[in-house]
Amino acid sequence: MSPIATSTTRYSRILGTGSFLPADRVTNQALADRLAADGVETSDDWIVERTGIRARHFAAPDQTASDLALPAAQAALEAAGIAAEEIDLIIVATSTPDMVFPSTACMLQKKLGVHGCAAFDVQAVCSGFVYALSVADSMIKSGAANKALIVGAEVFSRILDFKDRTTCVLFGDGAGAVVLGASSEPGILATELHADSRHVDVLCTPGTVAGGQVLGSPFLKMDGQAVFKLAVGVLEKVARSVLEKAGLTEADLDWLIPHQANIRIMQGTAKKLKLDLNKLIATVDEHGNTSAASVPLALDVAVRNGRIQRGDTLMLEGVGGGFTWGAALLKY
């Protein structure tokens, strides 16, 4: 890696985005029908009204997080006009890794057919992508990396208890990626990360592997109302804080891309920030909650459909298990 000598401020900028959804698109009605066969009652009406979700994608039984990450990463590299060999840092944000170790980032590096660059996972559940972006931004600004591939990739369908209707209708699988590169132009303007471990129990998958067995529950558990209340509180606060750090106000925002968990939380955050709802990027209706993949998936969709243009000011926000949250303010 050859550090770029600069006399000006060194920023990190998004050079390209990509995403990937597994082929199996499951509508609420199709999911309700599958669940009914096991005596679990839900409906399209309930899911749409409470969450805004209409469909989600589920990975095939043999598809892993790195399998979803690979096409998302390739699309981001292509959009950036960068060869995989030029990447000197890979960070994958995931809570559903391919295996206990090596990291999903190492599995992705292998699938990209490259070797040598730093590769590691970040585990901050639904805040994972914003955490990974912030780490990569710091590494680029410090000169430790020049071109980073940051991916959020999840197969949450693997950890869903399909007998628990309060959680299994909410999540989906997918991957989103960005290539971040060193630049004299801003770039990521400000980031902020938080965790409050007093709430570790509100959203967790408490099992672990030991002695050749899974110990504890391998399924996701969530106190939905507690998470809802925590989320609406922190998302407005952290957005205002990163705006202040960058010397901007909410009036400077072109787009808000919050974690895609529930349209009510997302619209509530936009309203608290006094943002017109047409500045909210929402893909939760088609993706469900894809945890660490949700923000880069939504970002890529909005870039590719032309809503987000070069020079726009974006607020990305993550929130989820840990309890974790964070935001990244950037010029696209």
Q: What is the Cα–Cα distance from 15 to 82, expressed in whole angstroms?
A: 9
With contacts defined by CB under 6 A, name the span among 105-113, 246-254, 260-268, 295-303 that binds ligand UT7. 260-268
CA angle, 180 then 181 then 184, to 5°: 130
Among 160, 204, 231, 280, binds ligand UT7 (CB under 6 A): 231
Q: What is the Cα–Cα distance from 285 to 192, expressed in whole angstroms?
A: 27
Residue 41 burial (C-beta neighbours within 10 Å; 0-12, 13-18, 19+): exposed
Nearest residue to ligand UT7, using CB?
Answer: 224
Q: Least distance from C-beta 265 to ligand UT7, angstroms? A: 5
The H-assigned helical ranges of the chain are 28-36, 44-51, 65-80, 104-112, 128-142, 165-168, 224-246, 263-272, 284-287, 294-304
Among 109, 191, 289, 324, binds ligand UT7 (CB under 6 A): 289
Q: Least distance from C-beta 231 to ligand UT7, angstroms? A: 5
8 Å CB contact between 296 and 136: no
Nearer to ligand UT7, 265 or 281 (CB): 265
Q: Least distance from C-beta 215 to ligand UT7, angstroms? A: 24
Among 261, 266, 270, 273, binds ligand UT7 (CB under 6 A): 261
Residue 120 near ligand UT7 by CB under 6 A: no
115 is catalytic: no
Catalytic entry in 28, 146, 262, 289: 289
Nearer to ligand UT7, 24 or 223 (CB): 223
Beta bridge mates, 27: 55
126 is catalytic: yes
Catalytic entry in 106, 126, 168, 204: 126
Q: What is the Cα–Cα distance from 104 to 112, expressed in whole angstroms?
A: 12
Angle of helix 44-51 relative to helix 263-272, nearest 10 degrees?
A: 20
Residue 30 near ligand UT7 by CB under 6 A: no
Residue 123: name the closest of 100, 148, 157 by CA.
100
Residue 183 near ligand UT7 by CB under 6 A: no
Among 17, 19, 51, 205, binds ligand UT7 (CB under 6 A): 51
Residue 121: name the closest of 134, 139, 95, 103 by CA.
103
Q: What is the Cα–Cα distance from 303 to 25, expressed in whole angstroms?
A: 22
Among 176, 288, 320, 326, binds ligand UT7 (CB under 6 A): 320
Q: Least distance from C-beta 224 to ligand UT7, angstroms? A: 3
**Token pair belonging to 70:** 């690979």
Catalytic entry in 57, 106, 259, 262: 259
Question: How many chain residues touch ligand UT7 (CB under 6 A)?
Answer: 20
Beta bridge mates, 16: 179
Among 6, 142, 166, 184, binds ligand UT7 (CB under 6 A): 166
305 is catalytic: no
Q: What is the Cα–Cα distance from 302 to 126, expressed in whole angstroms?
A: 19
Residue 225 near ligand UT7 by CB under 6 A: yes
Residues near ligand UT7, by CB under 6 A: 42, 46, 50-51, 126, 165-166, 169, 203, 224-225, 227-228, 231, 261-262, 265, 289, 319-320
Q: Which residues are catalytic?
A: 126, 259, 289
